[in-house]
Amino acid sequence: MLTIGVLASGRGSNFQSIIDEAEAGRLKASIKLLVVDKPDAYAVERAKKHSIEHLFINPKEFPSKDDYFRKIAAELKARDIELVALAGFMRIVRKPLVDAFPNRIMNIHPALLPSFPGLHGQKQAADYGVRISGCTVHFVDEGMDTGPVIIQAAVPVRPDDTEDTLSARILKLEHKIYPEAIKLYAEGRLRVEGRIVKIAGCELKDEYIVNPPIG
Ligand code: GAR
């Protein structure tokens, strides 16, 4: 069974969506460890409730960012973690962790990358006035939200959307596509070629959406 380690900074609703799929038996994986970079991250309460080991690793206690991520990699390796899932982890992952888990770290981002990377992807999209936004699950490299895309899902953006209303619409889809991407990984169906992710046994359809509807 796939062993997963999760890194989070806050609320942890994406962490919960992974827990729920695993507990329901739809995702054949065992979540072995939660690492947080903030002592009061609510994700810790979720870990406690589901008897998942959790660690607060304080970035302030390390002389450099590389040292911090070397420590996280060591804790994950010590527990034989195979896949690392970033779930609202608000730091750019550094080389020591990326190198320890090549194409074995995933992230969920609340925008259609490469649009609106970084913080507040939903606010960036609403402020820009795009008609369609969404979320992206991707493998993590050393850049900021730049790694190979695994799954994307789109939602319409309304002219009166605020950061909060758009975030809520996108979050519902995050909770669907993140466990789905992990399932594909667990089933051995993802292959990374350069920056293209090939998905075995997945037939894509030539459908499209237009917002606002036309015709
Ligand atoms: C989610 O919307 C996630 O996509 C976003 O933070 C939120 C965390 O929510 N991540 C980023 O913006 C990463 N750049 P959660 O803690 O409830 O999962």
The residue whose CA has the least distance to atom 7 of ligand 1 is 88
> What are the helix and strand counts (H, E) for the chain?
6, 9
Q: Could you list the residue range(s) of the whole structural domain that residue 168 is in? A: 108-215
Same domain, 91 and 122: no
Residue 152 CA to ligand 1 center (angstroms) comes to 15
pLDDT of residue 195: 95
Q: Of the candidates 101, 126, 154, which is a domain's last residue? A: 101
Strand 2-8 relative to strand 149-156: parallel, antiparallel, unpaired?
A: unpaired
Alpha helices in the chain (DSSP H): 13-23, 43-49, 65-78, 95-100, 121-128, 163-186
Cα–Cα distance measured from residue 190 to residue 176, given in angstroms and rounded to the nearest whole number: 18
Cα–Cα distance measured from residue 118 to residue 12, given in angstroms and rounded to the nearest whole number: 18
Query: Could you give the number of structural domains in the chain?
Result: 2
Same domain, 60 and 154: no
Same domain, 189 and 205: yes
pLDDT of residue 215: 80
Maximal CA-CA distance, the chain: 60
pLDDT of residue 86: 98
pLDDT-flagged residues of the chain (< 50): none
Length of the chain: 215
Residues 91/37, Cβ–Cβ less than 8 Å: yes
The residue assigned the tokens 């002389």 is 63
Residue 31 CA to ligand 1 center (angstroms) comes to 19
End-to-end CA distance of the chain: 49
Same domain, 121 and 72: no
22 secondary structure, DSSP code: H
Same domain, 93 and 18: yes
pLDDT of residue 13: 98
Same domain, 191 and 152: yes
User: Among this protein's residues, is 54 annotated catalytic?
Assistant: no
pLDDT of residue 192: 98
Tell me which of 50, 54, 109, 138 is the catalytic residue.
109
pLDDT of residue 57: 98
pLDDT in tens, 90-108: 999 999 999 999 999 999 9
Amino acid at 114: P
Same domain, 5 and 51: yes
Same domain, 67 and 131: no
Q: Is 18 touching ligand 1 by the criterion CB < 6 Å?
A: no
Q: Is 175 touching ligand 1 by the criterion CB < 6 Å?
A: no
pLDDT of residue 110: 98
Same domain, 97 and 113: no
Q: What is the CATH number of the domain that holds 136?
A: 3.40.50.170
State whether residue 72 is helix, strand or coil: helix
Could you identify the atom of ligand 1 that is nearest to the CA of residue 42?
16
Q: Of the candidates 101, 125, 157, which is a domain's last residue? A: 101
pLDDT of residue 204: 87
CA-based nearest residue to 135, from 164, 107, 93? 107
Could you identify the atom of ligand 1 that is nearest to the CA of residue 107?
13
| pTM check: above 0.95 | yes
Same domain, 126 and 71: no
Same domain, 96 and 141: no
Amino acid at 56: F
Q: Of the candidates 85, 101, 117, which is a domain's last residue? A: 101
pLDDT in tens, 105-147: 999 999 999 999 999 999 999 999 999 999 999 999 999 999 9
Cα–Cα distance measured from residue 209 to residue 2, given in angstroms and rounded to the nearest whole number: 35
